[in-house]
Amino acid sequence: MLGTVTIATTEKRRMKHTMSTVYRWLLTLVLFAAPLANAQLVVEITRGQANAIPIAVVPFGWEGAGTAPFDVAQIIAGDLARSGRFAPLERRDMIDRPTAGSQIKFQDWRYLKSDYIAVGKLVPGGGDQHAVEYELFNVLNGQRLAGQRVPSSTAGLRATAHRVADQIFEQLTGIPGAFSTRIAFISMDGTPPQQRYKLIVADADGENQQIIADSAEPMMSPIWSPDGQSLAYVSFESRTAAIYVQALRSGERTRVSARAGINGAPAWSPDGTMLALTLSRKDGDLDVYTLSLATQVLTRMTFDAGIDTEPVWSLDGKKLYFTSDRSGNPQIYEVEVDNSSKLRRITFEGSYNARPRLSPDGKQLAVVHLDNGNYRIAIVDLGSRAVRVLSQGKQDESPSFAPNGATLIYATQDRGRGVLATVSIDGRVTQRLAARSGDVREPVWSPFPAR
């Protein structure tokens, strides 16, 4: 069921000392040619880091017969390149192909100006089983920084390569890699009133796309369960909004809220037992509630006559951050889950702050912020309340943090089409993920996979 993967590399020469764009790397991921032809994601680094770290990821050796079943090094180098923090050496510039530390002539790699080198091999272990062995070295002093042997099935080699990339990234940056994670998003094809909506899950690099749900009626607001095994989302399939929880592996689906009026903005509590959500009564007053998934006990959290929606939990599960227009325009507030009378306004800067998402360390909120007439992604520091605009579009929305906190993914527009974009938390590295046709939007980054 694997689709063909073509990687078109249009790499302009790296200009190491310029302040602007370092290089562009275009990965065209052709996935699931037949059913997902329209949803192919094209991943493009739109701005890299000027001081990206040069690293050589040497093609891995294969100790079996015939050709290697998978190009592990290509996945690792691709992950590191897309992070924007690394500049992998091109293969055609490699004058040697060591597959173990003992074979590395460090002098050569110093000459090629690589700061680090990763080498390895794929060792057949009988039948479908292999072992991926890799080692990471500092080229300047020859020091061995990491090395591991990872067992893997043939089908699991892509995931294993992402895991190796995670380890190399963490070793060299101090930040856990998020290459083994996934994203969910909504795609929409067709023109009004004949649209087709799909909920799609893909690897963080856009590969392995799977349609999770497909409908002629809108779907929106997908969110991952804390264990990464399920998605909650809103579907209008019954011509009114309802919230569903769908287990990814089995496809089993449960309707968890279909009350009169709006059922929207689901948000999982950190322990996975509750959903925060938005309901409107018959008179249309949107308020935030919590819902116990086991007991169906519903607890009202907000009592204002305005729009209260888009809840998100604090890390300890004791507070909810949400959007409210009780002051006349949308701003972020927090409320204590055990005492809804304890309410505090969080944002004061600007006339529009909405759709908060909490950073993995719990110290910042990503929000949609109106910035001189443009809707942009901004970071609100919960300590200092300082607001920092991160994105540069006109119509940016739906921010979601990578589980390592290093990157945000969000929805933006490119020549009128909905595309996804990522930006590093320092604003220096950006990339764009666009479908070949139609709109993609509402990206949500999965938690780290269970180990």
Partner 1 sequence: MRMTQLILVLASAIALAGCPKRPTTVPEGAGASVGNQGAATAGAGGGSVQTGEQLTAEQAALRELERLGMIIYFDYDRAEIKPEYVSVVAAHARFLNGNASRKVRLEGHADERGSREYNIGLGERRAQAVRRALLLQGVTEAQITTVSYGEERPAAAGNDEAAYSRNRRVQIGYGQ
Per CB under 8 A, residues contacting partner 1 are 1, 32, 34-36, 191-197, 201, 209-221, 235-241, 246, 248-253, 261-262, 264-265, 278, 280, 282-284, 286, 307, 309-310, 323, 325, 330, 352, 354-355, 368, 370, 375, 395, 397-398, 413, 416, 442
- Closest CB to partner 1 among residues 142, 218: 218
Picking from 303, 447, 429, 370, the residue whose alpha carbon sits closest to that of residue 43 is 429
CB of 83 to partner 1, least distance (A): 26
Picking from 209, 205, 158, 197, the residue whose alpha carbon sits closest to that of residue 409 is 205
CB of 382 to partner 1, least distance (A): 19
CB of 424 to partner 1, least distance (A): 22
- Closest CB to partner 1 among residues 114, 302: 302
CB of 216 to partner 1, least distance (A): 5
Rounded Cα–Cα distance for residues 381 and 347 (Å): 10
Rounded Cα–Cα distance for residues 407 and 409 (Å): 7
Residues 387, 392, 395, 401: what is their CA dihedral angle, to the nearest 10 degrees? -60
- Closest CB to partner 1 among residues 52, 444: 444
Give the angle 178-183-186 at the CA atoms, nearest 5°.
165
- Write the CB contacts of 148 (distance below 8 Å, at least 6 apart in sequence): 133, 134, 164, 167
Give the angle 273-185-356 at the CA atoms, nearest 5°.
60
Residues 230, 233, 239, 240: what is their CA dihedral angle, to the nearest 10 degrees? 120
CB atoms under 10 Å from CB of 347, counted, come to: 23
CB of 218 to partner 1, least distance (A): 4
Rounded Cα–Cα distance for residues 360 and 67 (Å): 42
